[in-house]
Amino acid sequence: MKSFRILSQASEELEASVAYYNSQQADLGSALLAEFENTKDRILELPLAARVVRGNLRKRPIHRFPYFVLYRVNDDEVIIVAVAHRRRRPGFWIGGT
């Protein structure tokens, strides 16, 4: 299995989303974080399974939430570039690719 790293912008977006959901309902943000971890694990198991959306950037949805994970696959590493809401700030991640 490949190692992974998450870029700071993606980590910040995830943390902000978790905080928002927790402010809306107890433990809802924790549920988002758990679903992100499940998505990350699926990515690491089969990194080339998700569709390519731009260059070598791939996109995988997060189950139960309106978010997706954008990532690149290198020889020995998966790099998570963005954790993005499906409708907010579309394409903000393009500059970080």
What is the structure's pLDDT at 72? 97
Q: Which residue stretches of 25-92 are H helix?
A: 28-45
Per-residue pLDDT tens digits of the chain, which is 97 residues long: 789 999 999 999 999 999 999 999 999 999 999 999 999 999 999 999 999 999 999 999 999 999 999 999 999 999 999 999 987 555 544 554 4
What is the structure's pLDDT at 97? 47
CATH number of 3-86: 3.30.2310.20
Phi, psi of 80 (to 5 degrees): -85, 115
Q: What one-character DSSP code corresponds to residue 88? A: S
**Residue 40: count of CB within 10 angstroms of its CB:** 19
Helix (H, G, I), strand (E, B) or coil at 30: helix
What is the structure's pLDDT at 88? 59
Residues ≥6 apart with Cβ < 8 Å to 66: 85, 86, 87
pTM beyond 0.85: the answer is: yes
Domain ranges of the chain: 3-86
Helix (H, G, I), strand (E, B) or coil at 45: helix
What is the structure's pLDDT at 2? 84
